[in-house]
Amino acid sequence: MSIKESLLTIKKELPDTVTLVAVSKTKPVSDLEEAYAAGQRIFGENKIQEMTQKREVMPKDIQWHMIGHVQTNKVKYMAEYVSLVHGVDSLKLLKEINKQAKKHNRVINCLLQMHIAEESTKFGLDKEELNNLIDSDIFKALENINVVGLMGMATFTDDKNQVKKEFATLKEIFSSLQSIKSTNLDVKILSMGMSGDYKLAIDQGSTMVRIGSSIFGSRNYS
Ligand SMILES: *Cc1c(COP(=O)(O)O)cnc(C)c1O
Protein backbone atom coordinates (compact mmCIF):
# COMPACT_ATOMS: atom_id res chain seq x y z
CA MET A 1 0.00 0.00 0.00
CA SER A 2 1.13 3.56 -0.66
CA ILE A 3 1.55 6.04 2.18
CA LYS A 4 -1.63 7.74 1.05
CA GLU A 5 -3.64 4.51 1.05
CA SER A 6 -2.31 3.44 4.45
CA LEU A 7 -3.03 6.83 5.95
CA LEU A 8 -6.56 7.02 4.61
CA THR A 9 -7.31 3.44 5.70
CA ILE A 10 -6.19 4.17 9.27
CA LYS A 11 -8.04 7.50 9.36
CA LYS A 12 -11.26 5.82 8.32
CA GLU A 13 -11.01 3.45 11.30
CA LEU A 14 -10.39 6.15 13.89
CA PRO A 15 -13.32 7.52 15.89
CA ASP A 16 -13.85 11.30 15.57
CA THR A 17 -12.62 11.71 19.14
CA VAL A 18 -9.15 10.39 18.30
CA THR A 19 -6.41 12.55 16.77
CA LEU A 20 -3.81 10.95 14.52
CA VAL A 21 -0.16 11.90 14.87
CA ALA A 22 1.77 10.60 11.85
CA VAL A 23 5.14 9.51 13.22
CA SER A 24 7.63 10.33 10.48
CA LYS A 25 10.93 9.87 12.34
CA THR A 26 13.78 8.63 10.12
CA LYS A 27 11.60 9.03 7.01
CA PRO A 28 12.59 11.30 4.10
CA VAL A 29 10.77 14.57 3.43
CA SER A 30 9.25 13.04 0.27
CA ASP A 31 7.32 10.61 2.49
CA LEU A 32 6.03 13.44 4.66
CA GLU A 33 4.99 15.33 1.53
CA GLU A 34 2.97 12.35 0.41
CA ALA A 35 1.16 12.22 3.75
CA TYR A 36 0.66 15.98 3.62
CA ALA A 37 -0.87 15.72 0.16
CA ALA A 38 -3.27 13.13 1.57
CA GLY A 39 -4.41 15.66 4.15
CA GLN A 40 -2.22 14.91 7.17
CA ARG A 41 -1.26 18.01 9.17
CA ILE A 42 0.13 16.60 12.43
CA PHE A 43 3.56 14.97 12.35
CA GLY A 44 5.53 13.42 15.19
CA GLU A 45 9.31 13.25 15.39
CA ASN A 46 11.59 11.99 18.13
CA LYS A 47 14.72 14.04 17.41
CA ILE A 48 14.61 17.80 17.71
CA GLN A 49 17.23 18.43 15.06
CA GLU A 50 15.51 16.20 12.51
CA MET A 51 12.13 17.77 13.25
CA THR A 52 13.55 21.27 12.84
CA GLN A 53 15.18 20.42 9.52
CA LYS A 54 11.98 18.92 8.17
CA ARG A 55 9.94 21.86 9.37
CA GLU A 56 12.15 24.24 7.41
CA VAL A 57 11.23 22.63 4.10
CA MET A 58 7.63 21.59 4.77
CA PRO A 59 4.46 23.74 4.54
CA LYS A 60 3.87 26.09 7.46
CA ASP A 61 0.43 24.83 8.47
CA ILE A 62 1.86 21.61 9.91
CA GLN A 63 1.69 20.99 13.66
CA TRP A 64 4.92 19.43 14.89
CA HIS A 65 4.79 17.11 17.86
CA MET A 66 7.90 16.08 19.75
CA ILE A 67 7.22 12.49 20.80
CA GLY A 68 10.65 11.33 21.92
CA HIS A 69 12.73 11.82 25.01
CA VAL A 70 13.73 15.47 25.21
CA GLN A 71 17.21 16.59 26.10
CA THR A 72 17.06 19.75 28.17
CA ASN A 73 19.83 21.45 26.22
CA LYS A 74 17.95 21.06 22.92
CA VAL A 75 14.61 22.54 23.95
CA LYS A 76 15.71 25.92 22.60
CA TYR A 77 15.74 24.63 19.03
CA MET A 78 12.04 23.78 18.99
CA ALA A 79 10.63 26.36 21.41
CA GLU A 80 9.64 28.74 18.64
CA TYR A 81 7.30 26.35 16.88
CA VAL A 82 6.62 22.99 18.57
CA SER A 83 2.91 22.47 19.07
CA LEU A 84 2.93 19.62 21.59
CA VAL A 85 5.69 17.93 23.59
CA HIS A 86 4.61 14.38 24.51
CA GLY A 87 7.51 13.09 26.55
CA VAL A 88 7.85 15.40 29.54
CA ASP A 89 8.86 13.45 32.61
CA SER A 90 10.56 15.87 34.98
CA LEU A 91 10.07 19.25 36.55
CA LYS A 92 13.55 20.17 35.38
CA LEU A 93 12.51 19.67 31.76
CA LEU A 94 9.24 21.50 32.29
CA LYS A 95 11.16 24.46 33.73
CA GLU A 96 13.43 24.57 30.69
CA ILE A 97 10.48 24.39 28.27
CA ASN A 98 8.85 27.19 30.24
CA LYS A 99 12.00 29.30 30.06
CA GLN A 100 12.43 28.84 26.32
CA ALA A 101 8.72 29.38 25.61
CA LYS A 102 8.91 32.66 27.47
CA LYS A 103 11.69 33.88 25.18
CA HIS A 104 9.30 33.41 22.27
CA ASN A 105 6.41 34.90 24.16
CA ARG A 106 4.33 31.75 23.87
CA VAL A 107 2.81 28.97 25.91
CA ILE A 108 3.94 25.45 24.99
CA ASN A 109 1.51 22.58 25.41
CA CYS A 110 2.99 19.52 27.11
CA LEU A 111 1.96 15.99 28.00
CA LEU A 112 3.42 14.34 31.07
CA GLN A 113 4.79 10.92 30.24
CA MET A 114 3.74 8.19 32.62
CA HIS A 115 5.62 4.97 33.17
CA ILE A 116 3.06 2.21 32.65
CA ALA A 117 5.14 -0.56 31.04
CA GLU A 118 6.85 -3.42 32.80
CA GLU A 119 10.19 -2.67 31.17
CA SER A 120 12.42 -0.48 33.26
CA THR A 121 13.97 1.05 30.14
CA LYS A 122 11.03 3.25 29.31
CA PHE A 123 10.92 6.81 30.55
CA GLY A 124 8.12 8.29 32.56
CA LEU A 125 6.72 9.25 35.93
CA ASP A 126 4.97 7.01 38.40
CA LYS A 127 1.80 8.16 40.12
CA GLU A 128 3.54 9.54 43.16
CA GLU A 129 6.03 11.50 41.07
CA LEU A 130 3.14 12.88 39.03
CA ASN A 131 1.33 14.06 42.15
CA ASN A 132 4.46 15.59 43.62
CA LEU A 133 5.12 17.42 40.38
CA ILE A 134 1.70 18.99 39.98
CA ASP A 135 1.49 19.83 43.68
CA SER A 136 4.78 21.69 43.71
CA ASP A 137 4.90 25.47 43.94
CA ILE A 138 7.53 25.53 41.23
CA PHE A 139 5.13 23.85 38.83
CA LYS A 140 2.27 26.13 39.74
CA ALA A 141 4.41 29.19 38.98
CA LEU A 142 5.22 28.13 35.41
CA GLU A 143 3.33 30.52 33.15
CA ASN A 144 4.60 29.53 29.74
CA ILE A 145 3.71 25.88 29.73
CA ASN A 146 0.35 24.21 29.75
CA VAL A 147 -0.02 20.57 30.76
CA VAL A 148 -2.83 19.35 28.53
CA GLY A 149 -2.67 15.62 29.14
CA LEU A 150 -0.75 12.42 29.60
CA MET A 151 1.25 10.11 27.37
CA GLY A 152 2.29 6.52 27.88
CA MET A 153 3.74 3.50 26.14
CA ALA A 154 2.68 -0.03 26.93
CA THR A 155 5.03 -2.98 27.29
CA PHE A 156 6.25 -4.33 23.95
CA THR A 157 4.57 -7.72 24.09
CA ASP A 158 2.10 -9.95 22.27
CA ASP A 159 0.14 -10.33 25.50
CA LYS A 160 -2.92 -8.21 24.74
CA ASN A 161 -4.23 -8.47 28.26
CA GLN A 162 -1.03 -6.99 29.61
CA VAL A 163 -1.19 -4.09 27.16
CA LYS A 164 -4.88 -3.55 27.86
CA LYS A 165 -4.24 -3.48 31.60
CA GLU A 166 -1.49 -0.90 31.23
CA PHE A 167 -3.62 1.36 29.05
CA ALA A 168 -6.50 1.03 31.52
CA THR A 169 -4.18 2.12 34.33
CA LEU A 170 -3.13 5.19 32.37
CA LYS A 171 -6.74 6.04 31.56
CA GLU A 172 -7.58 5.85 35.26
CA ILE A 173 -4.80 8.28 36.19
CA PHE A 174 -5.93 10.53 33.33
CA SER A 175 -9.52 10.56 34.57
CA SER A 176 -8.53 11.36 38.14
CA LEU A 177 -6.35 14.22 36.93
CA GLN A 178 -9.19 15.74 34.91
CA SER A 179 -10.90 16.91 38.06
CA ILE A 180 -7.89 19.05 39.01
CA LYS A 181 -7.69 22.26 37.04
CA SER A 182 -5.40 25.24 37.39
CA THR A 183 -3.99 27.92 35.11
CA ASN A 184 -1.37 25.60 33.61
CA LEU A 185 -3.11 22.26 34.06
CA ASP A 186 -6.05 21.34 31.88
CA VAL A 187 -5.94 17.68 31.08
CA LYS A 188 -7.86 16.63 27.96
CA ILE A 189 -5.43 14.68 25.77
CA LEU A 190 -4.58 11.04 26.41
CA SER A 191 -1.78 10.07 24.02
CA MET A 192 -1.54 6.29 23.88
CA GLY A 193 -1.34 3.76 21.09
CA MET A 194 1.17 3.04 18.32
CA SER A 195 1.02 0.89 15.16
CA GLY A 196 0.90 -2.38 17.06
CA ASP A 197 -1.54 -1.45 19.80
CA TYR A 198 -3.59 1.59 18.83
CA LYS A 199 -6.86 -0.32 18.58
CA LEU A 200 -6.44 -1.58 22.13
CA ALA A 201 -5.52 1.94 23.22
CA ILE A 202 -8.64 3.43 21.66
CA ASP A 203 -10.78 0.82 23.37
CA GLN A 204 -9.24 1.98 26.65
CA GLY A 205 -9.96 5.66 26.06
CA SER A 206 -7.09 7.06 24.01
CA THR A 207 -7.73 10.46 22.39
CA MET A 208 -4.47 10.63 20.42
CA VAL A 209 -2.59 7.85 18.64
CA ARG A 210 1.00 8.04 17.41
CA ILE A 211 1.36 5.88 14.32
CA GLY A 212 4.53 5.45 12.29
CA SER A 213 5.28 2.16 10.60
CA SER A 214 1.66 1.37 9.69
CA ILE A 215 1.64 4.55 7.61
CA PHE A 216 5.20 4.92 6.36
CA GLY A 217 6.44 1.32 6.46
CA SER A 218 9.12 -0.10 8.70
CA ARG A 219 12.08 2.04 9.65
CA ASN A 220 15.67 1.33 8.74
CA TYR A 221 18.06 2.53 11.38
CA SER A 222 21.57 2.73 10.03
C1 LIG B 1 8.36 5.57 17.07
C2 LIG B 1 7.31 5.95 18.03
C3 LIG B 1 5.96 5.75 17.74
C4 LIG B 1 5.45 5.09 16.47
O5 LIG B 1 5.78 3.76 16.44
P6 LIG B 1 5.19 2.75 15.33
O7 LIG B 1 5.25 1.43 15.98
O8 LIG B 1 6.07 2.88 14.14
O9 LIG B 1 3.80 3.19 15.03
C10 LIG B 1 5.04 6.18 18.68
N11 LIG B 1 5.41 6.76 19.83
C12 LIG B 1 6.70 6.97 20.14
C13 LIG B 1 7.03 7.61 21.43
C14 LIG B 1 7.69 6.57 19.26
O15 LIG B 1 8.98 6.77 19.58
Facing residues of 63 across strands? Answer: 42
Q: How far is the CA of 73 from the centre of ligand 1 (A)?
A: 23
Q: Which atom of ligand 1 is nearest to the CA of 218?
A: 8
Q: What is the spatial distance between Cα 120 and Cα 49, in angstroms, rounded to a whole number?
A: 27
Q: What is the spatial distance between Cα 219 and Cα 222, in angstroms, rounded to a whole number?
A: 10
Q: Which atom of ligand 1 is nearest to the CA of 210?
A: 10
Pocket test for ligand 1, best of 25, 45, 67, 199 (most atoms within 8 A of CB): 67
Whole-structure pTM value: 0.96
pLDDT per position as a tens digit, 2-23: 999 999 999 999 999 999 999 9
pLDDT per position as a tens digit, 119-157: 776 689 999 999 999 999 999 999 999 999 999 999 999
Supply the pLDDT for residue 204: 98
Supply the pLDDT for residue 121: 64
The answer to whether the CB of 88 falls within 8 A of the CB of 65 is: no
Q: For residue 85, is pLDDT > 80?
A: yes
